[in-house]
Amino acid sequence: MIAGVERISLKEHFDERGTFSKTFDVDISNHLQFFPKEVFYTKSRRNVFRGLHMQVEPHAANKIIHVVDGSVREFLVDLRPNSETYLDYLELGLSSEEKEVLFIPKGIAHGYLCLTSPTLVMYMMDAPFCEECDSGISYKSIEVLQNVNPSSIIMSYRDSNLEVIKLKT
């Protein structure tokens, strides 16, 4: 695990109409000391890769992400120089079936590969988006992704040209 990353189970209620899920509340906010400034979502299809992104100082941001529909393979890289898990990476599965959110602290780059069509991912950030602070690293920095055929995944020009860095193995 990467220091500070948390998976948080959600409360869900079922009845004959379907489900009702609470994705955020004051208990989560207080537990994480997380106070959202922006909420947005992405809708993607299978084989889309987004990332690995983060927002740096002076507007670094903690994030909570939630897979509302579909499933992803999530990749996290710790880029905090003073962290005990600096340059470690974590790979995990997230899906709408799991009913949880993922808390990602400042200084951790994250990205994901969409495994389903459609995939809907909601983000909450505790700092507003700042284009000058928007940063990232290449998916090729992660060993398990180095041999992925670029033509088999769909990504933005920007994401496909991010810097490759050396991580711990």
Task: Please report, in tens digits, the pLDDT of each residue of the chain (169 residues total).
Answer: 899 999 999 988 889 999 888 889 899 999 999 999 999 999 999 999 998 999 999 999 999 999 999 999 999 999 999 999 999 999 999 999 998 999 999 999 999 999 999 999 999 999 999 999 999 999 889 887 877 777 889 999 999 899 999 888 6
Catalytic residue among 110, 123, 139, 157: 123
**Model confidence, pTM:** 0.92
Q: Which of 22, 26, 25, 24 is nearest to 11 (CA)?
A: 22
123 part of the active site:
yes
Catalytic residue among 31, 53, 59, 157: 53
Going along the chain from its start, the domains and CATH numbers come out as 6-160 (2.60.120.10)
53 part of the active site:
yes
Contact 106, 60 (CB under 8 A): yes
Q: Which of 60, 62, 56, 64 is nearest to 24 (CA)?
A: 64
